[in-house]
Chains A and B, each alone.
Chain A
């Protein structure tokens, strides 16, 4: 099992450019998440999905879009990149139950917008 994989590991974007961050999981998890992590600010939820074809906004969705056409993949799209989107982005997946919620995180994508 590779778990949760993310590509690319690092990317520099110019202001106004667009890009897609890729996320794939091989654990057949129904839930998937995108977080951003800024220094000293913890993890902020951008978007999440409870299954293929279903997505919903998290705490900080502005400037991002997602899609979930398969159970395995959950790409995050940045349109018109801005310096405020400089961050480390983590994808996670889980199969929550009433008694537990273990989110498995990918290694992250470091994005720098200049």
Chain B
């Protein structure tokens, strides 16, 4: 069974701090690694994504770091704001022509003032 392991399950960060969420995968055929953000009562929405031939991607306050040899990737949220409070899911795409996403179990982030 293909898996993406995500940690921590929950995270509390003070406003202005750095939030870090980690994911690890096993299948080296995965070829695309997105992060989705979900607010309560809403569907997930794509936040940022990276391909395995890139070690880092930054969009505003959000950065993905990717370590291909360790089969790990992480989301960093700089200057965390209360509006960032949400559940974050990492995911990995099947590779070899498969476009299915395998999701991690999610991290509930709470940013406190």
A residues sitting closer than 8 Å to B (CB atoms) are 4, 31, 40-45, 48, 50, 58, 90, 92, 94, 96, 99-108
Q: Which B residues touch A41, using CB under 8 A?
A: 105
B residues sitting closer than 8 Å to A (CB atoms) are 6, 9, 32, 34, 41-46, 49, 51, 89, 93, 99-101, 103-106
Shortest CB distance B103–A (Å)? 4
CA A48 – CA B93 in complex, angstroms? 14
Additional A-B contacts beyond A31-B99, A42-B103, A102-B49 (5; CB < 8 A): A4-B43, A42-B105, A50-B99, A101-B49, A101-B93
Whether B32 lies near A101 (C-beta < 8 A) is yes
Whether A94 lies near B99 (C-beta < 8 A) is yes
Shortest CB distance B16–A (Å)? 28
28 A-B contacts, Cβ less than 8 Å apart?
A4-B43, A31-B99, A41-B105, A42-B6, A42-B89, A42-B104, A42-B105, A42-B106, A43-B44, A43-B89, A43-B103, A45-B100, A48-B100, A90-B44, A92-B43, A96-B99, A100-B49, A101-B34, A101-B49, A102-B34, A102-B49, A103-B46, A103-B101, A104-B45, A105-B43, A105-B45, A106-B43, A108-B41
